[in-house]
């Protein structure tokens, strides 16, 4: 649907780190309980379907002022890093299940 609308779908390494953390966590701990092999297979599929943007030092140059100016604390620093990566790579839209985290 998004591809049909002309959007280019991209990911950054942090997407994979956070995905791995959630999908390999046991279901009783609010995860999906996938095995390492299953998670690996899914990530390989994502790498095929989405453009992979590099993780680079320049992202820090966007992240650091962002967390300072908005007084970001705790786990929100991870979300701020995604926002910084978006700024660095000029991404204009974010597809997330946690929209409230990015307002």
Mean pLDDT of 74-85: 92
For 5-62, write each residue's pLDDT tens digit.
888 889 999 999 999 999 999 999 999 999 999 999 999 999 988 999 988 899 999 9
- Residues 54, 45, 102, 29, CA torsion sign: negative
- What is the pLDDT, as a whole number, of residue 77? 93
Task: Assign 89 a pLDDT band (cuts: 50, 70, 90).
Answer: very high
Residues 6+ positions from 74 with CB-CB distance below 8 Å: none
- Whole-prediction pTM: 0.79
């Amino acid at each position: 649907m998004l591809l049909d609308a002309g959007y280019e779908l991209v990911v950054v390494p942090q997407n994979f780190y956070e995905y791995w953390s959630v999908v390999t966590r046991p279901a009783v701990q609010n995860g999906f309980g996938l095995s390492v092999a299953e998670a690996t297979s899914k990530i390989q599929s994502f790498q095929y379907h989405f453009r992979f943007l590099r993780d680079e030092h320049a992202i820090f140059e966007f992240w650091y002022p962002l967390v300072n100016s908005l007084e970001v604390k705790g786990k929100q620093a991870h979300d701020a890093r995604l926002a910084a990566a978006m700024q660095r790579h000029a991404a204009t839209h974010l597809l997330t299940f946690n929209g409230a985290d990015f307002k």
